[in-house]
Amino acid sequence: MIELRNIHFSYGDGFALKGFTLAVEKGSFNLLVGANGSGKTTLLKILAGLLPIRSGTIIIDGRIATDADLRELCCYVLHNPFEQIVGSTVEEDLAFGLENLGLRSEEIQENIETALKMFQLSEVRHANPFVLSGGLAQKLVIASLYLLKPEIFLLDEPTSMLDDTGVEELLQALRELKQLGKTIFVSTHEPKIFFGLATSVIHMSDGTIDFYGGIHEFLERRFEDVEC
């Protein structure tokens, strides 16, 4: 179980999160929707351990999670994959985080092979990642993060730079993560794209949550600030 209890956060003036409370099951696929400025990105960054909470608690599997715990358990995927790629080939990018962890080179190679197969990147293994399509680049970012063994994937508007083929590539990667039992949060202004995979929808309004439930129930509510 992943629980956020009464989370407050401020960038300076006023509060971007005002008493946000939510509990989701591990392995759930949660869509985060709401108007511009409602606090979606802030919430994802807090879960990723990238922003300090002003007050409130995050509890994972019954234990209070520190920022350091969150940085280990969660990974944050930027909407622009090219800002998150570090290797000069696909293989190098996959190896980068593992090298930092000090894994032996045979172990790194095994991991790379697994990720290439799992995320269907074998054909581009020697390619320069910066010439890949947006969809393949997004998959590479997800694959590289996957190798660091996070439990929770946080994606911030992952389709905003993708064409239709790219969206298909992304969905393929997310399907894989879901099958592996990872918990997923996707902030999006295009929730429809994910309805086939999502297990719940979280609607945010002015720094708080005003709906959490299934897709059917969400659609019945007809929120004016979300296009479906």
Ligand X SMILES: Nc1ncnc2c1ncn2[C@@H]1O[C@H](COP(=O)(O)OP(=O)(O)OP(=O)(O)O)[C@@H](O)[C@H]1O
**Binding residues vs Mg ion (CB under 5 A):** 40-41
Place of tokens 């985060």: 32
C-alpha closest to that of 11 among 54, 49, 40, 48: 54
In eight-state DSSP terms, residue 83 is G
Q: Which is nearer to ligand X, 36 or 100 (CB)?
A: 36
**How many other C-beta atoms are found inside a 10 Å radius of the C-beta of residue 56?**
16
Q: Which is nearer to Mg ion, 33 or 136 (CB)?
A: 33
By CB under 6 A, residue 39 contacts ligand X: yes
Decide if 106 is catalytic. Answer: no
By CB under 6 A, residue 198 contacts ligand X: no
Q: How far from 117 is each of 49, 120, 140, 145, 198, CA to CA, in Å?
A: 30, 5, 12, 15, 24
Q: How far is the CB of 94 from ligand X (least distance, A)?
A: 29
**How many other C-beta atoms are found inside a 10 Å radius of the C-beta of residue 143?**
23
- Contacted by 42, from Mg ion, ligand X, none: CB < 5 to 8 Å by type: ligand X
Q: How far is the CB of 189 from Mg ion (least distance, A)?
A: 9
The DSSP secondary structure of 139-150, one letter per residue, reads HHHHHHHHTT--
Q: How far is the CB of 51 from ligand X (least distance, A)?
A: 9
By CB under 6 A, residue 188 contacts ligand X: no
Give the integer Cα–Cα distance in Å for 34 and 226: 6
> Looking at 7, 29, 41, 70, which residue binds ligand X (CB under 6 A)?
41
- Contacted by 16, from ligand X, Mg ion, none: CB < 5 to 8 Å by type: ligand X
Q: Which is nearer to ligand X, 35 or 118 (CB)?
A: 35
> Looking at 4, 20, 38, 170, which residue binds ligand X (CB under 6 A)?
38
Contacts with 128 (C-beta within 8 Å, 6 or more apart), sequence order: 88, 89
Q: How far is the CB of 38 from ligand X (least distance, A)?
A: 4
Give the integer Cα–Cα distance in Å for 222 and 217: 9
By CB under 6 A, residue 47 contacts ligand X: no
Write down the catalytic residue from 92, 157, 176, 190: 157
Q: Which is nearer to ligand X, 11 or 63 (CB)?
A: 11
Strands across the sheet containing 208-213? 74-77, 152-156, 183-187, 29-34, 200-205, 208-213
- Sign of the alpha-carbon torsion through 9, 11, 12, 18: negative
The site for ligand X, by CB under 6 A, has a size of: 11
> Looking at 2, 16, 85, 152, which residue binds ligand X (CB under 6 A)?
16
* Positions marked active-site: 157
Interface contacts to ligand X, rule CB under 6 A: 11-12, 16, 34, 36-42
